[in-house]
Amino acid sequence: MPSATANYRTLLRTSGAAAFFLPAAVGRLGIAMTGIGLVWLVHARTGSYAAAGLVTGGFAVADAVAGPQLGRLTDRFGQARVLPCALAAHAGAVALLLAGAVPDLVAGVLVGATLPQLSALSAARWSALLSGERAAALPTAFALEALANGVSYLAGPALVSVLGAAGHPGTGVLLAAALVVGGGLALAAQRRTMPPLTGRAERRHAGRALLRSAFLRQVALGLALGVFFGAMQVSVAAYAVGRGTPDAAALLYLAANCTNLVGGWVYGAWCHGGSPRRRQATAAACLTLASLPLTFLDAPLAVGATLALTGLAVPVLLILTSVLTDASVPRAVLTQAFTWGNSASAAGSAGAAAVAGRVVDTGGAHGGFGVAAGAAAVMTVLAVGGLRGASPAVPKSSAPTKTTTPNPPATDRAPRRPSR
C-alpha cells in the first residue's frame, strides 16, 4: 500500500506531529498492559481469580469515572500542568500496589483513578494542529490513533502475560507504569503542539455543548461499542471452550484484530470527503449485518471469517466517532469530550462482560453473540437518528483566547469546521 504509507508519512511530517504522537503511543502501550497486569499480580498474591477480577473491576470503574474529570482539568489548566501531576500520582499508586502498603482493591482504584487519558490528549493535539485548511487530514490522524490503540492492545496484554506466566507479574505492572510515566512526561514536554487555553467565560459557555444531542449521541455510540467489545470477548472464549478447543480463542481474536488494523489503515489512508454521519450509519449497519450470523454459526472457519468481517467495521466507527465528537463541541471542552467517549466505551465493555457472561451461562455462546449483535443494532439506530437530527457543527470561538502555550495565533482563531 505505497499510497497509504505516503499518506501517513506526510501526516507525521506535519510540524510537531511525530514529537507528540510517538510518546503518546508509547504511553498507551503501558495503559494497555495495566489492567491485565493487575490480574496477574493479584492472582499471584491471592491465588484467586475472583479477587483479581474484583481489583481489576475497581480499576476500570475508577478509570471511567476519573477520566472525564482529568479531561476537564486539562481543558482548564493545560496538559503541561495537569499531566505531570497525574503521572506522579499514578506512579505513587503503582508503588503502593507493588509494596502491598494498602489493600489490593484500594490500590487498584487509585491506579485507575490516576491513569492519564493519553489517547484523548493526543486526539486534542491533532484537532488543534490540523485546523483550518488542514482539517481534511483529521480522519487520517484519528485513524492513526486507532491503529496505535489497536497495536497497543495486541502487544501489551501479550507482553504482560508472558512476564506473568514466567513468574514475574510485578515486573509486568512495573514495566506498564514505566511506559505510561515515560511516554506521558515526553508528551507533556511537547508544549508547542498543546491546544491553547481558553477563558473561564468561554469554557462555561462551551460546557453546554456537552449536553447537546449531537455530542450525547456520540457518547451513546461509544457506550454501545463498548458493549459490543465486552460481549464479543466473553462470547468468543465461551465458543472456543464449548467446542473443547480453548486454544482456538486466540486465533479467533487474532482474526478480528488483524482485520481491525487493516480496516483502520485503509479507511484513514483513502476514505475522505462525504458526510461522516452517513459513513457512520453505513458502518454501523454493516457491523450489525456481519454480527448476526454469529448467533447461529457453528463451524470454526465460518465463525472466524465472520469475526474478521466485524473487525473491518469497528475501526471505521471508532474513527468517525472521534471526527463527529470533534465537530460537535468547541475547542474549550474538547479533551473532556474525548474522555467522556473513552469512559463510556470502557463502562459499556465492563458491564457487557458481566451481562454476556450470564447470557452465555443460560444460552451458550450464541446468546452472548446475540448481545453483541444487539449492541451493533443500537449503534445503527443511533447513527441513523443522527442523519435525521443533523445540526450544524458547533463553531469555535473567534475571540482571542488566554493561552500559556506558544501555539501560532492562527490555531487559536481557527473557525470550527463544518461537519463533513
- Greater confidence (245 vs 353) lies with 245
For the chain, count helices (H), then strands (E): 15, 0
pLDDT value at residue 399? 39
- Report which DSSP code applies to 85: H
Closest CA to 334 of 124, 68, 193: 124
pLDDT value at residue 409? 37
Instruction: Judge whether residue 402 has pLDDT over 90.
Output: no
Instruction: Name the pTM for this structure.
Output: 0.84
pLDDT value at residue 405? 39
Q: 466507527: which residue's cell?
A: 317
Please give the grid coordinates belonging to residue 188.
507533556
Q: What is the CATH number of domain 18-197?
A: 1.20.1250.20
Percent of the chain with pLDDT over 70: 90
What residues have CB less than 8 Å from 63, skipping those under 6 apart? 112, 113, 115, 343, 346
Q: What is the pLDDT of residues 172-208, one digit of tens each?
A: 999 999 999 999 999 999 999 999 887 776 767 777 7
Domain covering 201-392+413-420: architecture: Up-down Bundle (1.20)
Q: 492472582: which residue's cell?
A: 43
pLDDT value at residue 2? 47
Burial 169-199 (b: 16+ CB within 10 A, else e): bbbbbbbbbebbbebbebbbebeebbbbbbe
Domains 18-197 and 201-392+413-420 share a fold: yes
Instruction: Judge whether residue 371 has pLDDT over 70.
Output: yes
Q: What is the pLDDT of residues 6-41, one digit of tens each?
A: 778 888 999 999 999 999 999 999 999 998 899 899
Tell me how far the alpha carbon of residue 311 is from its chain's centroid: 15
| Boundaries of every domain in the chain | 18-197, 201-392+413-420
